Amino acid sequence: MAGGAPTAAALRRRTNGSPAAKHGNGATNSSHKNGETGKTAPRRGLVVAGVAAAAILLRGLNTPGAAIYGKNNKATAAVLRSAKTFRGAKRRGPLTGVDAEALLQASQALIPAFDSYGPLLSRAARADLTGNVRKLRKAGMGPGVRDVGTVVLADPDYTHVHGPTMALFWLNRILQQVAGTFEELLKTDAADVVKSATKAYLRTTAPYNLAWQRRVGKLLLKVTPNRENLIRCYGQPDFAHLAPVFEQWLRDSRATREAIDEFYRQRPAIAPKVRWKGKSLGN
């Protein structure tokens, strides 16, 4: 979560109306065909500069609310509820073996955790994660669909930003970015949240973004709560108590996340192309 969907949603709102928006935009909706031209480059520079200023100002405004400790903490309950739902999502199947309704419910269950990060990240997560869930439901995913791959293969236009092919791909990128952040935070007792979220973004989502989108993504991740506030968001006394919550979600969601990734790896023609393989966000 920390540093997952929020970056994607904020990027998308800033690209609406651009040439890239016709086929997909933002961190979660880059397409096969979008690109930059000389006419759009100055505009991108203004966007990056504007976001840089906004990130500095909004970090102070995006303060998490008062923490509720114990079993009633909404963020902790949300992650555990998501984990429990993911346990029933992966089944045997010829394509992904991922049950549609279980996937959508498990993904949507994370929203209260994003809410605990403060109003800015809450709005962005709701726009992005919920947006992809809504697109998938509109495409026919839900109760009775035993394998999400069947809906994707029936998609008449796999490049369409509102279609199930792109929506499933980017929903899983969100889940993988959440997982990557949790994994980075679990590596050491003092892992920095912003650095952890940025590393996760670089590994899971940045490869599919344009250069200016990667720069904006790095700036937006700066509004992620620091380590002390993150622990507070989850109502835990210290990270030692929070770690098992993250570990549970990673274990229970892993089979589903990996199955969807493998589905697209086996079908490169329908997946967004990799745009970046470097280590610097500025490349």
The Cα angle at residue 143 between residues 97 and 3, in degrees rounded to 5: 70
pLDDT in tens, the chain (283 residues): 654 544 444 454 444 433 343 444 334 444 444 444 444 444 444 444 444 444 444 444 445 554 555 556 999 999 999 999 999 999 988 899 999 999 999 999 999 998 888 777 777 778 889 999 999 999 999 999 999 999 999 999 999 999 999 999 999 999 999 999 999 999 998 899 999 999 999 999 899 988 888 887 778 788 888 999 999 999 999 999 999 999 999 999 999 999 999 999 999 999 999 988 876 544 4
Does residue 167 belong to any structural domain of this protein?
yes
Partnered with residue 90 across adjacent β-strands are 98
Which uninterrupted H or E stretch holds 83?
Answer: helix 74-87
Domain count, the chain: 1
Q: What are phi and psi of 35, to 5 degrees?
A: -165, 180
Does residue 70 belong to any structural domain of this protein?
yes
Does residue 232 belong to any structural domain of this protein?
yes
* Residue carrying the six token digits 């200016």: 212
Could you tell me the residue range of the domain that residue 255 belongs to? 5-32+41-270
Does residue 279 belong to any structural domain of this protein?
no
Nearest Cα to Cα of residue 96 among 161, 44, 171, 189 = 171
CATH code, 70: 1.10.3520.10
Does residue 277 belong to any structural domain of this protein?
no
